[in-house]
Structure 1
Amino acid sequence: MDLRHLRYFLVLAHELHFTRAAQKIGIRQPPLSMQIQQLEDIVGARLFRRRSCGVELTAAGRSLQLSATEIFARLDAALADARRHGEGQAGQLRVGFAGATYFNPAIPAAIQAFRTRHPDVVLSPEQSNTPALLAGLRDNRLDVAFIRPPIDQDDRVTVRPFVDEEMVIAVPSGHPLDGETPLPLSATAGETLILFPRTIGTGLYDTVMSACRDAGFTPRLGQAASQIASIIPMVAAGFGVSVIPQSVSRIQNEGVTYRRIAGQTLHAPIALATRADDLSPLVSGFVAAVQLIQQAGIRTTA
């Protein structure tokens, strides 16, 4: 038996007349009669009784009509759902965020742009560090990830530049370096510098360390923060000062003052990483949303 038997049966069950049913299907009456006879042989019961003006359903026929109608409703829903997944209008997208990238206004703007175009797609966020996110992409545990470049060359991953923001100095409120005007990085030479382990943010870590050397000093590193966002409460508690991406200054803490860096600009870029061989409609749609925000020039600082 194939679906054609059931489709023909449902048309005849609705029309209750072989000639009208055959015309509606677009075939001659003898082939329709043959299909119904084959279906009755498969079921092992009569499905129709002949009447002078057509046919009527038997008890077996009425039962099959209900079941077949439900079968086709489910089939149509399954096909529609598969079509939506194939077009990138449904499904799940696993999105990774490297340390504190989500504080940059361009990130939620990109997420919102994607959700506007793909309202039925479920977004599953994961926060981690750049090396772990790249491993997640390679292992197919993530679909896209906002990372902090640079990264080592990897043909399995495509990295698209997204936004670039300045870095600022974070000092405890009431500290001698507290103030509103830009502050030379060299002014922090005698202070304890709070950073994070280099393994979780190689690019940012090296940028800060190199900038300190260019400013004429080697920083005195204090206790490492577990992640970028954790630096703020540590600075507020007086552990030391830090240099952070400007968007992280959106974390409001009365115990911390943020000062722009005078005389030099330190950059904290954010990029979108995807698997190089991933051409799925969902990923393509997310890349398009990110590019839309990039082209719109969304403000990327605090």
Structure 2
Amino acid sequence: MDIRHFRYFLAVARQRNFTRAAEQLGIAPPTLSRQIQDMETELGTRLFLRQQREVSLTEAGAALVIEAEATVRQFEFAQRSAQRAGRGDIGHIELGYVASAVYSGLLQKQVQAFSRECPDVSLNVRESPMAALPGLVIEGRFDIGYVRSPMTLPEGLEAIRLDAEGFVLAVSSESWLCRLPQISPAHLQNETFILPEQINGTLQVAAQGGFAPKLGPQPGGLVAVIALVSLGQGVAVVPESVVGHVGLPGVVYRGIEGGEARSWLSMVYRRFEKSAAVARYIEQVRNR
């Protein structure tokens, strides 16, 4: 027997008539009768008492109805689950990000849009050190990563370029720089630079000022960077999106005159992604 036999059996049990059940199923009455007889032969018991116009369930048939209904429901649920998983409607995504993806508001916008479209896909969203994030995506510990570019990606990863932004200078409120009406790159040549995870902005500002930067510590996330600035350990070139989101006592954010340095967020993912849910997230971001 297979699931088809259960469906035939339930149709007859509900209609109490082979002709009506056959019409409902879209098959010929003799075919339906033969399938039910095959079931009875395999089970070794009668399922229906046949009368001229109607049939009624035997005790064995009444017992089978309960289990057959449960079996058909479970089979249909399994079918729907497989179809939904194949479309990416259900599943799980591990998502890693750097802090500036949150400060910019981009991560919230994209995650919330996806969750509205696919509410049954669970997302585990965690902050991660940027240097490690691409490798963690390759290893499968994350499915998607939000990083700050430009950066070199390992073989096997692709990236979608997202929002770009400029840089500002985080400086101690007691620094002599705060007394300047405008701060140019040349003013920074004797400063120690606290380095965020993405140092491209620091290098570009130094290049614009025509000097080799004096590199200080690289403590990790942006909050740690700005904490060192608040302690008077140096200045930091940080993304504009930090302003208004990370405020520490003793820290001032200033624009950099003529600053042309830019960076952008990127979403990285495996080139040959197999998960339909992950592929659906990638497609949504690509088509945003």
Taking structure 2 as the reference length, the TM-score comes to 0.87
Helix, strand or coil: the match of 2:233?
Answer: coil
**Secondary structure in structure 2 of the residue aligned to 1:82:** helix
Query: In the alignment, which residue of structure 2 is the partner of 1:136?
Result: 136
Aligned residue in 2 for 1:212? 206
Pair 288,22 (structure 1): closer, same or farther in 2 beyond 3 Å: closer
**Could you give the per-residue CA deviations for residues 63-89 of structure 1, whole angstroms, max 9, x where no partner exists?**
211111111112222222222222222
Q: 1:71 to 1:255 in 2, by over 3 A?
A: farther
Identity %: 31
Compared CA separation, residues 142 and 224, structure 1 to 2 (3 A): closer
> Residue 71 and residue 181 in structure 1: after superposition, are their counterparts in 2 closer, same or farther (change >3 A)?
farther
How far apart, in 1, do the equivalents of 2:23 and 2:12 lie?
11
Deviation at 1:189, TM superposition (A): 3.0
1:263 aligned onto 2:253: no
Q: Mean alpha-carbon deviation: is it higher for 278-287 or for 58-67?
A: 278-287
Counterpart for residue 272 of structure 1:
267
**1:239 counterpart residue number:** 233
C-alpha separation in 2, matches of 1:163 and 1:174: 33
Report the equivalent of 1:282. 277
SS of 1:190 mapped into structure 2: coil
Letter in 2 for 1:27: I
SS in 2 for 1:110: helix
Q: Which amino acid aligns with 1:238?
A: G
CA distance in 2, matches of 1:53, 1:84: 43
Q: Secondary structure at the match of 1:129?
A: coil
Deviations 1:157-177 (A, max 9, x none): 212211211111101233332
The residue type paired with residue 100 of structure 2 is A
Question: How far is 1:258 from its partner?
Answer: 0.5
1:9 maps to a residue whose letter is F
Per-residue deviation at 1:155?
Answer: 4.7
In the alignment, structure 2 segments of 5+ residues that lack a partner are none
**Equivalence for 2:104:** 104
Match of 2:219 in 1: 225
Describe how 1:143-154 pairs up with structure 2 within 5 A.
Answer: 143-152=143-152, 154=154
Q: Say if 1:175 and 1:128 are closer, same or farther in 2 by CA, change over 3 A.
A: same
Q: 1:80 to 1:222 in 2, by over 3 A?
A: same
Shift, 1:292, TM fit? 5.1
Query: Offset at 1:48?
Result: 1.6
3-state DSSP of counterpart to 1:31:
helix
Q: In the comparison of the two structures, how many residue pairs are matched?
A: 287
Cα shift readout 1:121-173 (whole Å, capped 9, x = no counterpart)? 22221322344222222223332221223333655121221121111110123
Aligned to 2:248: 253
- Distance in 1 separating the partners of 2:109 and 2:102: 10
Separation (CA, whole Å) in 2 of partners of 1:219 and 1:225? 17
Instruction: Write the distance in 2 (CA, Å) between the matches of 1:210 and 1:72.
Output: 65
Q: Is the 8 A contact 1:229 1:248 kept in 2?
A: no
Hey, what does 1:15 align to over in structure 2?
15
Distance of 2:49 and 2:10 partners within structure 1: 15
Q: Please, what TM-score do these two structures have when normalized by structure 1?
A: 0.84
Give the direction of change, closer, same or farther, for the CA distance of 1:67–1:175 in structure 2 (3 Å limit).
Answer: same
SS across alignment from 1:183: coil
Structure 1, gaps ≥5 residues long: 294-302
